[in-house]
A = this chain, B = another copy of it.
Amino acid sequence: MRYHKIPDETVRRLPMYLRGLLLCREQGVRDVSSRKLSELLHISPAQIRKDLSYFGAFGTPGVGYDTAKLAKQIRGILKIDTPNKAALVGLGNLGSALLKYPGFGAYGLQISAVFDNDPGKIGKIVKKVKVEDVSKLSTLKNKNIKLGIIAVPASAAQSVADALVKAGIRGILNFAPFYLDVPKKVKVITIDIAMVLARLPYYLPASA
């Protein structure tokens, strides 16, 4: 299966597999079968095997997958085997929370530049990172930072995105409720938290 186009859905699940593998390793499990991983992640065993098969044959029939080895492979596929630096734009409530969020480390991600337009915040040092003025976004070019996180109001999101693209950013995680118009070479993933929550009442039973 190695030479096929990879479904986006498969890429979306790869970090889940990595999480499951790390969980197994913590518990000292050396080998894990697709069935056991399935119980942990609630993704079907066949789905797991098919997803992995797109990239090669990592398992051993009768045994399963070597947790350490497979974790390394997946990290390689996701290109997170070497650390990735990210720039955060917007140090409001959400931006601050993201900056302090401890979960990025497990995936080799590090926020190593922060920008805001509030003079009261510029110059401050949070989490060992100095807050810079958004007008300085262009300096990212020299820092080999390819990922950007947008945590600004919707009205400013597009202009921030434009600046990020101009600064050489190639992947954007966008929290603003707004479609970002960027060149095709730039990958954008948008998370609109309110919109996700807005979907929950639909599933509530009809009776109050």
* A residues lining the B interface (CB < 8 Å): 11-12, 14-16, 18-19, 40-42, 77-80, 84, 86, 92-94, 96-98, 100-101, 103-104, 106-109, 144, 146-147, 149, 170-173, 177, 179, 185, 187, 189, 191-205, 208
Contact = CB atoms under 8 A, between A and B. Distances in A.
A84 B208 CA distance: 11
A202 B79 contact: yes
Contact of A11 (B42, B93, B197, B199): B199
A193 B98 contact: yes
A147 B197 contact: yes
A195 B100 contact: no
25 contacts: A11-B199, A12-B199, A14-B199, A15-B195, A15-B199, A19-B195, A42-B179, A77-B202, A80-B198, A84-B201, A93-B97, A96-B97, A97-B97, A103-B192, A103-B193, A104-B194, A107-B194, A109-B194, A109-B198, A146-B204, A147-B204, A170-B204, A171-B200, A172-B200, A191-B193
A208 to B, nearest CB: 8
A25 to B, nearest CB: 15
Given A147-B200, A171-B200, 14 more contacts: A11-B199, A15-B199, A18-B198, A78-B201, A79-B201, A79-B204, A93-B96, A94-B97, A104-B197, A144-B208, A147-B201, A173-B196, A187-B200, A189-B196
Closest 10 CB pairs of A and B: A107-B198, A171-B200, A103-B194, A93-B97, A187-B203, A79-B201, A97-B97, A15-B195, A15-B198, A94-B97
B205 A170 contact: yes
